[in-house]
Chain A
Amino acid sequence: MATEFHNLQELRHSASLANKVFIQRDYTDGTVCKFQTKFPSELDSRIERTLFEDTVKTLNNYYAEAEKIGGQSYLEGCLACLTVYLIFLCIETRYEKVLKKISRYIQEQNEKVYAPRGLLITDPIERGMRVIEISVYEDRGSSASSSGSSTTSSSGR
């Protein structure tokens, strides 16, 4: 795990950031958290459509699970109300548990699918659940002058 994280850090700093693609929210089902599965044209040459759609659909399913209104959420709500919401000092809400699952999933997807293709997904929670930010990296190793690219690395991210 440490070496894989090391790889991602190196991806961030050894390649230069070319572009950021933003996947917007899909509000057709109301205010539930759901992202558009439309494949952005900027990623056309970088990743297969099916892989991208799978990632977004899985994320949408996770968010739907977090926001599901059913037996478990009622139980949690009633229990919390009875304890004047002090119970959340001790236990995590279901939403927080699912968010942790989501960030593990995104980390895993980045390592296995996106980083090898020079892409990096940012967890939507870091962008206020508004967008899925996909950073597109250009391989700096192919550029001729190393000193030139090192200056871009310090200015880029």
Chain B
Amino acid sequence: MTGNMHLGVEEPIRECQYNQICTHNSSTMDTPHTKKKKIKRKWQVFPGRNKFYCNGRIMMAKQTGVFYLTVVLILVTSGLFFAFDCPFLASNLTPAIPAIGGVLFIFVMGMLLRASFSDPGVLPRATPEEAADIERQIDTANGPSGPGYRPPPRTREVLINGQTVKLKYCFTCKIFRPPRASHCSLCDNCVERFDHHCPWVGNCVGRRNYRFFYLFILSLSLLTIFIFAFVITHVILRSNRTGFLSALKDSPASVLEVVVCFFSIWSIVGLSGFHTYLISSNQTTNEDIKGSWSSKRGKGNYNPYSYGNLITNCCAALCGPLPPSLIDRRGFVQPDTPQPVAQTNGTGACPSNQVQSHMTYIDDEDCVNPSALMSLDSVSSAKAKHISR
């Protein structure tokens, strides 16, 4: 009450006004308790095409079938290893083998779940005022356009460490994408430091979960090699005693594991190697595919984000600070706050349509066809993955 003094409004009128505002104010403040209108959490009104579980704690892409396949394959193979091979190995070699295997398995599952369930670094869409402000700035920059004149592409150029980088305008999210951000057509979100959309993990891989994804594939490579090596050892040791064929008869699961691991190793180790290269040069899969920083594009072309040093690049990617989620999934929606533009190019449209409609933005060169990225992922892991994992 005393705070209103400086505005100089007459007391009785101000009282009425204040009371009027007060009731509006108190109704919005007390709504969680009075439940006049059902208060929603922000994940329930999220404009992107994501699925949320556990009241907003878990966030995944829309298509999660392949993720469940990944989980089943890892669980089954590891389970067979612990059940059929480990008893023999523990008693005949050392109990350290199942122990180390167990640690690796827990680490693999932990990293997989972390990569799948966390927010990859989704950028929230612009509020209406922000969008209007940006539109105004673009119109001022481009000048008035006559009828039938196609407006020039909406880009901003910025100089980063001596390299000119173009920032593209995202028509869906109504923002100028920060450098290295990209719009995922499958999830319909702009993601910071977008790497790729991984169907095996059931989520986009971006700034906030890249290290989990990398540690997942690295530890999975180690687990696969570990299981492969020790299953072979197991079969060899048994064959020395009872002969090869009866050894296989005694532990049939070993055959399955060897097959699975043999095909997995090529793809997963290959993928780990590829991502190790990306991390050491501080590039994203997106940038590497397009050759953004390749010297083939020009003599003066270099990666402005690289720290120049291999070790620093690795440390920055894996041990750098973990930024918080920007979308506040579990916060409550304020009833008087207008929601950001929830424009999607056809809600409920199947992903292929989304890709096509997105690709018609001719100036959106940065938006790499995610199916290309998916095919890279699947090509490198196709041989083993679809058979085994």
| Interface, chain A (partner B; CB < 8 A) | 3, 6-7, 9-11, 13-15, 20, 22, 25, 27-31, 66-69, 73-74, 76-78, 80-81, 84-86, 88, 93-96, 99, 125-131, 133, 139-142, 146, 149-150, 153-154, 157
When the two chains form their complex, are residues A127 and B319 in contact, meaning their CB atoms are under 8 A apart?
no
Partner of B3, one of A10, A22, A93, A125: A10
Residues on B with beta carbons closer than 8 Å to the beta carbon of A69: 312, 315-316, 319-321
- The secondary-structure label for the interface of chain A is helix
Residues of B within 8 A of A95 (CB): 321-324
23 contacting pairs across A/B (C-beta < 8 A): A6-B3, A22-B129, A22-B130, A25-B178, A27-B158, A27-B165, A29-B161, A66-B321, A69-B315, A74-B319, A77-B320, A77-B322, A84-B106, A84-B110, A84-B114, A93-B322, A93-B324, A95-B322, A96-B324, A127-B127, A127-B130, A146-B10, A146-B16
Inter-chain CA distance A94–B305, complex, in Å, is 23
Residues of A within 8 A of B141 (CB): none
Enumerate chain A residues within 8 angstroms of B9, measured Cβ to Cβ: 14, 140-141, 146
A130–B175 contact, CB under 8 A? Answer: yes
Which residue of B is nearest A33, CB measured? B323
Contact of B321 among A94, A131, A150 (CB under 8 A): A94
From B18-26, B45-53, B88-96, B267-275, give the one contacting chain A: B18-26
Whether the pair A157, B336 counts as a contact (CB closer than 8 A) is: yes
In the bound complex, CA of A133 to CA of B378 (Å): 43
Question: Restricting to B12-32, which residues have a CB under 8 Å from any CB of A?
Answer: 13-14, 16-18, 20-21, 24-25
Q: For the complex formed, measure the closest distance between the CB of A150 and the CB atoms of chain B, giving whole angstroms.
A: 5
For the complex of A and B, the 4 pairs showing the least CB-CB separation, nearest first, are A77-B319, A141-B7, A84-B110, A7-B3
Distance between A126 CB and nearest chain B CB, rounded to angstroms: 8
Instruction: Judge whether B180 and A31 touch: CB under 8 Å.
Output: yes
> Interface residues, chain B, CB within 8 Å of chain A?
2-4, 7-10, 13-14, 16-18, 20-21, 24-25, 106-107, 110-111, 114, 123-124, 126-127, 129-130, 133, 158-161, 165, 167, 175, 178-180, 192-193, 212, 215, 304-305, 312, 315-316, 318-324, 326-328, 336
**Taking A10-B3, A28-B159, A67-B321 as contacts, is the C-beta distance between A85 and B212 under 8 angstroms?**
yes
Chain B residue at minimal CB-CB distance from A8: B3
* Chain B residues with CB below 8 A from A11, complex form: 3
B154 CB to nearest chain A CB (Å): 14
In Å, the complex CA distance between A15 and B9 comes to: 11
A146 near B17 with CB under 8 A, answer: yes
| B133 contact set on A, CB distance < 8 A | 20, 22
A129's contact among B18, B160, B326, by CB below 8 Å, is which?
Answer: B326
Q: Which residue of A lies closest to B22 (CB)?
A: A13
